[in-house]
Structure 1
Amino acid sequence: MRAISPEESCHALDLSGLEQPSVRVWSAWLAGELAGVGALAQLDADNGELKSMRVADAHRGTGVGRAMLEHLIAEARSCGMSALWLETGATAEFLPAQRLYESAGFTQCEPFGSYVFDPYSVFMTTRL
């Protein structure tokens, strides 16, 4: 992501961000190989943000991304969240991610939380 987006437009959490108490992280493994990761941040009692979702290049198109997304949505519901939000890239490299989120009911929206308009970002939300 950092190779295709300006630094100020990269909103993925680093290790210290992933270690915050409001963030939970999951990993997907296939045959002993890391296939994907995803994180869910609790924004408040009712809202969550999908963070740092990534599928390893070797596992793209295998369903790992969809399985991770479904898992994150289920976890958000189990925590009592009623809405999820996300920020993803706006360039062509991020179109598969945007399509995955749309297929799960996410729609584009205005920037949320502390985000501001950025031509390299797409913001999405869904009600649970």
Structure 2
Amino acid sequence: MAGTPGGTILIGRDTPEREDVQQLLDEHLADMYATSPPESVHALDPAALAGPGISFWTAREDSQLLGCAALKRLAPGDAEIKSMRTANAARGRGVASALLRHLLAEARHSGYRRLFLETGSQAFFAPARRLYARHGFTDCPPFAGYEPDPNSVFMTLQLDAG
């Protein structure tokens, strides 16, 4: 939960198959394809995000969807952050930071020791890279079947027990 000028952001488990979430994920995928070549787009569609081994959360204020994020289990102790997205109307309100803090807490609670993520190398993704770096993520080699790609930045975070 995070306080904002407009109210309180509540983060909870959700399904990517809800209509408003699907719309947000469609916007996410459209941005990914608009900024990266198709072979460099690694975002998951709603059906994949509802699959086994993936935990999915949304951030809402009252019933308004502000953002979403997911954790995908990679191996014992390792997970990948997927589909971090803030709704355009909610940008600049701390939604992404609140979601990321929530993911970090959930990852620790679930026994993960390392988190990974892939994001774009283009200027469009610079705010995301800065957010992850502020929370301790550092660049790493490709992981979990990803290949080196000039359009991708791979990052990792070693989690403490706290």
Identify the residue that residue 40 of structure 1 maps to in structure 2: 71
2:59 counterpart (20, 24, 28): 28
Structure 2 unpaired stretches of 5+: 1-31
Identify the residue that residue 141 of structure 2 maps to in structure 1: 110
Identify the residue that residue 40 of structure 2 maps to in structure 1: 9
Please give the per-residue CA displacement for 1:89-126, whole angstroms capped at 9, x wherever unaligned: 11001000000000000000110111001111000001
Q: Tell me the number of residue pairs that the alignment of Structure 1 and Structure 2 aligns.
A: 128
In terms of Rg, which structure is larger? 2
Distance in 1 of aligned mates of 2:37 and 2:89: 25
Aligned positions of 1:24-103 closer than 5 A: 24-103=55-134
Q: In structure 1, what residue type is equivalent to 2:117?
A: L
Under a length normalisation based on structure 2, what TM-score does the superposition of the two structures give? 0.77
User: Shift in Å at residue 26 of structure 1?
Assistant: 0.3
Q: In structure 2, what residue type is equivalent to 1:127?
A: Q
Identify the residue that residue 158 of structure 2 maps to in structure 1: 127
User: Shift in Å at residue 32 of structure 1?
Assistant: 2.5
Please give the per-residue CA displacement for 1:40-99, whole angstroms capped at 9, x wherever unaligned: 001111101000100011111110000000001111100101000000011001000000
User: Shift in Å at residue 31 of structure 1?
Assistant: 3.9
Q: In structure 1, what residue type is equivalent to 2:115?
A: L
RMSD of Structure 2 on Structure 1 (CA): 0.8
User: Shift in Å at residue 30 of structure 1?
Assistant: 2.0
Secondary structure at the counterpart of residue 26 of structure 1: strand
Moved more, 50-59 or 14-23: 14-23
Q: In structure 2, what residue type is equivalent to 1:39?
A: A
After TM superposition, where is structure 1 displaced by more than 4 Å over at least 4 residues in a row? none
- Percent of pairs identical after alignment? 52
Under a length normalisation based on structure 1, what TM-score does the superposition of the two structures give? 0.97
